[in-house]
């Protein structure tokens, strides 16, 4: 080697690349064997309580068992972490309890759906976080995210609970049993056919011994029901007791969006909408609230005026709520004066929208006074009251804690569900339609009463003794129809307060034992 030639330095060796650890497909589960046992027990419990023709007391019992299993698995420490969100248990208990109180199919679907949403929220926030920190769209994200957890946690529980190594150790023995079974069954089948044909006495005896129905279809359906319910329970329990590796929705306050709309542009839009709403609200107040609203407007029949524009006004109210929320999120307000002017303009918009919403409710009331109540009209009334409450809460949060609008809207939705249950819409319809018929002397729409549930039967029984002539005969026909529906008693999981009171009312009047006319 020539010492005069300098040696070129060797290129640095590349640093070894470290791959980021892959996120496991199946989550980590705390106390997997206990969670799996609780999930299977809840699956059997659900199959026993809910596999019925009608739902009743079994549903709140199942919800209570699920919450109890969650508290048992989490222990004292888990309950301490869940306490900030424990207020969700109050509406959950009320809504699930109303399944055993109201018989209406509308309310049954609404109560079960609301209970499922509350369970998903409770599962997400059992270990950490706060419900009130969610944004408006975050509620849907949390509920949908928690709803898919059975797809992840059920396999994880089986993975962590079953001793796979132990099964592999006995794989040779299990394989031998399987091969022996495959060899034995065909031989027994062939010999059995030959011996059955060889002797008549043997054939008849074997037919008597083997003539039983295993009910495989029922068994398979039961097993599938237990497996599905156990997977749902595993998802709720596993998601509630999960290990949180990263920040999740509800752990921190919602971050404010970057404002992109100029203040002048937003102010022009706000003042223009305010002016339009003010002119329209002035006409509505002049006629519906100050003038003679007991007669139809000129050029319209009573029904046409009451219905005309009703849905348009409700849509306007909902769009205004969305508009105020969008402006509050995207408008730049760089000074205190700009903030005050913006809040005043949007608050005026909300106030005028409440007048428009009151106009829509007044129109609906005029229509109901003329033609009576229906389930759709009663539910629409409650929806409009809830929409008005959400608008009023939006006006409040413009000045105080804007980030709390979402939890107020969520509480408003829960309140509307509870109001419908306490109101008992079907009994309300019967009572008010009968009062309207007695006040106006008009005919009673008894055809609608056939479609009502046991919630309306006590009111119908009470009214049957006060009506006369054709209305009384038609109402007695309705009661006979309800008697046929209620002729089959409820088991303990099916017990429902409205059906119990309906049967008792029919028994007291003798309608239960009265013959059914052909």
pLDDT computed for residue 42 by the predictor:
93
3-state secondary structure of 335: coil
C-alpha–C-alpha distance, residues 429 and 371, integer Å: 12
Which CA distances in Å does 179 have to 155, 169, 170, 176, 188? 28, 18, 14, 5, 15
332: alpha, beta or left? (left if phi > 0; alpha if psi -120 to 50): beta
**HEC per residue, 451-510:** HCCHHHHHHHHHHHCCCCHHHHHHHHHHHHHHHHHCCCCCCCCCCCHHHHHHHHHHHHHC
pLDDT > 70? residue 219: yes
Over residues 14-35, the pLDDT tens digits come to: 444 444 444 455 667 777 888 8
pLDDT > 90? residue 138: no
Q: Label residue 57 by pLDDT band (50, 70, 90).
A: very high
The arithmetic mean of pLDDT across residues 97-109, rounded, is 93
**Contacts of 32 by beta carbon, 8 Å cutoff, 6+ apart:** 156, 157, 160, 161
The arithmetic mean of pLDDT across residues 227-242, rounded, is 86
Which CA distances in Å does 376 have to 372, 382, 390? 11, 10, 21
pLDDT > 70? residue 179: yes
Q: Are residues 79 and 89 in contact, defined by beta-carbon separation less than 8 angstroms?
A: no
DSSP symbols for 396-415: HHHHS-GGGHHHHHHHHHHH
290 secondary structure, DSSP code: I
The arithmetic mean of pLDDT across residues 262-267, rounded, is 89
pLDDT computed for residue 23 by the predictor:
47
Cα Dmax for the chain? 129
Phi, psi of 331 (to 5 degrees): -90, 135
C-alpha–C-alpha distance, residues 430 and 285, integer Å: 31
Over residues 70-94, the pLDDT tens digits come to: 888 887 777 777 788 889 999 999 9
**Tokens describing residue 214:** 């295993």
pLDDT above 90 covers what percent of the chain? 22
Residue appearing with tokens 């156990």: 230
Which of 241-245, 258-262, 273-277 holds the top average pLDDT? Answer: 273-277
pLDDT computed for residue 8 by the predictor:
46
**Tokens describing residue 452:** 């009502």
pLDDT > 60? residue 127: yes
pLDDT > 60? residue 448: yes
C-alpha–C-alpha distance, residues 382 and 437, integer Å: 23
Q: H helices of 127-285, where?
A: 138-147, 150-161, 164-169, 171-198, 200-210, 216-240, 263-284
The arithmetic mean of pLDDT across residues 28-47, rounded, is 86
The arithmetic mean of pLDDT across residues 207-217, rounded, is 64
Nearest to 262 by CA among 331, 336, 335, 323: 331
Nearest to 155 by CA among 24, 20, 22: 24
pLDDT > 80? residue 132: yes
pLDDT computed for residue 442 by the predictor:
64
3-state secondary structure of 8: coil
pLDDT computed for residue 43 by the predictor:
92
3-state secondary structure of 51: coil
């Amino acid at each position: 080697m020539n010492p005069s030639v300098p040696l070129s330095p060797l290129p640095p060796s590349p640093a070894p690349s470290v791959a980021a650890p892959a996120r496991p497909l199946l989550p980590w589960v705390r106390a997997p064997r206990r969670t799996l046992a609780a999930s299977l027990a809840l699956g059997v419990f659900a199959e026993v309580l809910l596999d019925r023709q009608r739902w009743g007391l079994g549903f709140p019992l199942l919800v209570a068992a699920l919450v109890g299993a969650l508290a048992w698995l989490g222990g004292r420490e888990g309950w301490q972490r869940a306490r900030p969100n424990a207020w969700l248990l109050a509406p959950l208990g009320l809504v699930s309890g109303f399944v055993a109180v109201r018989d209406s199919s509308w309310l049954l679907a609404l109560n079960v759906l609301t209970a499922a949403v509350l369970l998903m929220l409770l599962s997400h926030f059992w270990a950490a976080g706060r419900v009130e920190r969610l944004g408006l769209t975050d509620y849907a994200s949390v509920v949908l995210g928690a709803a898919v957890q059975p797809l992840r946690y059920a396999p994880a529980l089986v993975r962590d609970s079953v001793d796979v190594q132990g099964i592999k150790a006995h794989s040779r023995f299990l394989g031998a049993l399987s091969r022996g079974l495959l060899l034995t069954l065909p031989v027994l089948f062939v010999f059995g056919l030959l011996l059955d044909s060889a002797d008549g006495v043997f054939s008849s005896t074997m037919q008597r011994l083997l003539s039983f129905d295993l009910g495989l279809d029922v068994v398979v359906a039961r097993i599938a029901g237990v497996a599905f319910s156990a997977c749902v329970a595993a998802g709720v329990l596993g998601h509630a007791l999960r290990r949180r590796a990263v920040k999740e929705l509800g752990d921190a306050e919602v971050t404010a969006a970057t404002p992109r709309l100029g203040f002048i542009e937003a102010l022009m839009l706000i003042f223009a909408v305010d002016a339009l709403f003010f002119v329209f609200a002035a006409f509505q107040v002049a006629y519906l609230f100050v003038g003679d609203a007991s007669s139809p407007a000129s050029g319209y029949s009573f029904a046409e005026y009451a219905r005309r524009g009703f849905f348009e006004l409700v849509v306007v109210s909902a769009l205004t709520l969305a508009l105020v929320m969008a402006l509050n999120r995207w408008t730049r307000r760089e000074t205190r004066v700009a903030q005050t002017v913006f809040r005043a303009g949007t608050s005026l918009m909300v106030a005028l929208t409440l007048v428009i919403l009151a106009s829509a409710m007044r129109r609906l009331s005029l229509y109901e006074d003329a033609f009576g109540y229906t389930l759709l009209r009663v539910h629409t009334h409650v929806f409009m009251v809830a929409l008005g409450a959400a608008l009023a809460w939006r006006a409040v949060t413009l000045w105080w804690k804007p980030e709390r609008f979402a939890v107020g809207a969520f509480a408003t939705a829960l309140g509307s569900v509870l109001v419908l249950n306490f109101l008992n819409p079907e009994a309300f319809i019967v009572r008010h339609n009968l009062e309207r018929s007695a006040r106006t002397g008009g005919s009673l729409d008894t055809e609608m009463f056939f479609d009502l549930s046991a919630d309306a039967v006590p009111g119908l029984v009470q009214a049957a003794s006060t009506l006369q002539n054709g209305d009384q005969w038609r109402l007695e026909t309705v009661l006979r129809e309800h008697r046929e529906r209620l002729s089959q008693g409820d088991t303990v999981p099916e017990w429902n307060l409205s059906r119990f009171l309906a049967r008792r009312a029919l028994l007291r009047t003798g309608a239960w034992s009265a013959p059914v006319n052909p």
